[in-house]
Structure 1
Amino acid sequence: MTVPIAIIGTGIAGLSAARALQAAGHAIHLFDKSHGSGGRMSSKRSDAGALDMGAQYFTARDRRFAATVQQWQADGHVAEWKPLLYNFHGAKLSPSPDEQVRWVGKPRMSAITRAMLGDMPVTFACRITEVSRGEEHWNLLDADGRSHGPFSQVIIAVPAPQATALLAAAPKLAGVVAGVKMEPTWAVALAFETPLNTPLEGCFVQDSPIDWLARNRSKPGRESTVDTWVLHATSAWSRQHLDMPKEQVIDQLHGAFAELMNCAMPAPAFTLAHRWLYARPSGAREIGALSDPDLGIYVCGDWCLSGRVEGAWLSGQEAARRLLEHLN
């Protein structure tokens, strides 16, 4: 009997590692505490259509990742997004064109992780709370007290604070991961029956509680009868208002949005708020992935590399590479 490899987390990093291991002929099993794949690439279904509340777009600088994105594009899972971009600085809006190629999942961000997952074995709505090693195999325990295993190796692909809690069996790795701080982000969606009178489709914001905003329907494949905007608050504002009730978060960011747009802002027909507790790492790291091959435990995530979608994918590849190297 082949003993599979466990992968905790079905964001880009976990799925990237899973695909690489499966391609090398290994049996894997994925776990995720959510009801679907994607992590911060997931999209929220709403009365206003699917909304990208997490990652807004991504870039591809590394040639390996660029080749993968080309394949996703050929398969119809991603498309280039060419928004009319602005900057808001010193209380003024100004156009901010650049040459950067930006990609989005199509028809929603989660299309990418859904395609990556394919028919790989996965257990959703299962929060792993403990990872323990027996004489030769790993076992996982979930929040409902169920045991999963045995597994030959374990890859942990979740945000650093959540990973630390799962690394009791690998104190050296736990020590490194515990030093990684992650910043929160409040995300708010506002939908308007009558489209706002502005050419703006994306904006980098300074001097405001808002850090970024995007017009959802300017992205390829987004069908919507209403004009929906996604606002991301700054890390500092989100940290200060971490436990603020969602209604108040919506009110405050709606107010900041109205101030910034300087156009008639009707009451939204629909609102949604989502708090990402671990949205991005504070400070850049270039560790690729973490591993203790003798124990058979590996850690990856966007926080190992730059905090971007590309970093997550590369980190998953690196974890898989180390694991395969050890097995061979």
Structure 2
Amino acid sequence: MTVPIAIIGTGIAGLSAARALKDAGHVVQLFDKSHGSGGRMSSKRSEAGALDLGAQYFTARDRRFVNEVQRWQANGWAAEWEPQLYNFQSGQLSPSPDEQTRWVGTPRMSAITRALLDDLPVEFGCRITEVFQGQQHWNLLDADGNNHGPFSHVIIATPAHQATALLAAAPKLASTAAGVKMDPTWAIALAFDTPLDTPMEGCFVQNSPLDWLARNRSKPGRDATPDTWILHATSAWSKQHLDLPKDAIIELLHGAFAELLHCSMPAPVFSLAHRWLYARPASGHEWGVLADADLGLYACGDWCLSGRVEGAWLSGQEAARRLVEHLR
């Protein structure tokens, strides 16, 4: 009997590792505490359509990831996004000279992770709380007290804070993960019946509670109505207002948006707030993956590299590569 490899987390890092392992002929079993794949690349369905509340777009610089994104594009899971970009600085809006190629999932960000998941076996709504060694193999305990296993190896593909607790069997790795600082982000969606009178489709914001905003319908494959906007607050502002009620967050960021556009903004017909506690690592690292090959325990994620979607995918690849190499 083949003992499968457990992968905890179905964000881009976990799915990248899972696909690479399956392609190398290994059996995997995935677990995720959410009810769908994607992690911070997930999209939320709402009465205003699908909303990308987490990752807004991604870039590709590393040749391996460029090839992967081209594969996604060929399959119709991703497309290039060419928004009219602006900068907002010292109270002034100006067109952004940024020429960077940006990609998004189509028709929503989560299309990519859904396609990568495909037919892989996964247990959703299953929060793993402990990774422990049995006689020869690994077992997982979930929040409901259920035991899962046996597994030959375990790959932990969660934010660093959550990975720390799951790495208890490898104290050295756990202490490295514990040292990673992840910043929070408040994200809100606002929808307007009458489209806002602005050519702006994306904006990098400075000296404001806001950090970024995007017009949803400017992304390929999105619904044109209503006119929906996604706003991300800065990490510093999010930290200061971490425990404010969602209604208050929406009101404050709606106000910051109106200030930026210098206009009396209509009341939104729909609004929604989401708090990402572990939105992004505060700084980049060069580990690629945390690994104890003899134990058979690995941790990967954007926090092991650049903090970007590309970093998450590369980290998952590296975890799979190291694991396969160790088995040879």
How many Å separate the matches in 2 of 1:99 and 1:269?
Answer: 34
1:144-159 matched pairs, under 5 angstroms: 144-159=144-159
Q: Partner of 1:285 in structure 2?
A: 285
Alpha-carbon shift at residue 263 of structure 1 (Å):
2.3
Unpaired runs of 5+ residues, structure 2, are: none
Give the letter aligned to residue 220 of structure 1. Answer: P
Aligned to 2:177: 177
Kindly indicate whether the alpha-carbon contact (under 8 Å) linking 1:84 and 1:97 is maintained by their aligned counterparts in 2: no
Pairing 1:198-277 to 2, within 5 Å after superposition: 198-277=198-277
List per-residue Cα deviations over 1:216-249 (Å, max 9, x = no partner).
0000000142000000000000011111000000
Q: What displacement does 1:174 show? A: 0.3
2:126 is aligned with 1:126: yes
Structure 1 position 98, deviation (Å): 2.1
Secondary structure, in 3 states, of the residue corresponding to 2:57? coil
In structure 2, the partner of 1:85 is: 85
Q: Could you list the per-position Cα deviations for residues 78-120 of structure 1 after superposition, in whole angstroms to 9, with x for gaps in the alignment? A: 0000000000000000000322100000000000000000000
Residue of structure 2 equivalent to 1:65: 65
- 1:202: how far off? 0.1
1:135 CA drift (Å): 2.2
**Deviation, structure 1 residue 283:** 1.1
- Secondary structure at the counterpart of residue 58 of structure 2: coil
**TM-score, normalised by the number of residues in structure 1:** 0.99
What do the CA deviations read for 1:35-55 (whole angstroms, capped 9, x no partner)?
A: 000000000000100000000
What does residue 164 of structure 1 align with? 164
Distance 1:281 1:225 in 2: 34
CA shift, 1:7, in A, is 0.0
Tell me, in whole angstroms, the C-alpha distance in 1 between the residues paired with 2:88 and 2:64: 34
SS in 1 for 2:54: coil
Structure 1 segments of 4+ aligned residues over 2 angstroms from their partners: none
Name the counterpart of 2:33.
Answer: 33
- Quick one: which amino acid aligns to residue 142 of structure 2? D
Contact 1:49/1:224 (<8 A) preserved: no
State the AA in 2 paired with 1:216.
Answer: N
* Residue aligned with 1:196, SS: coil
- What's the CA shift for 1:183? 0.2
Structure 2: distance between partners of 1:179 and 1:100: 32
Look up the equivalent residue of 2:237 and give its one-letter code: W
CA distance in 1 between counterparts of 2:260 and 2:33 reads 37
SS in 2 for 1:130: strand
Report what 1:100 is aligned to: 100
Long gaps (5+) in structure 1: none
**d(CA) in 2 for partners of 1:70 and 1:264?**
42
Q: 5 Å matches for 1:312-323?
A: 312-323=312-323
Q: Which whole-Å CA distance do the structure 2 matches of 1:99 and 1:243 have between them? A: 37
Shift of 1:134: 1.5
Q: Partner of 1:311: helix, strand, or coil?
A: helix
Residue correspondences, number: 328
SS for the counterpart of 2:260 is helix
Aligned to 1:45: 45
TM-score relative to the length of structure 2: 0.99
Q: Secondary structure at the match of 2:130?
A: strand
How much identity, in percent, do the aligned residues show?
A: 77
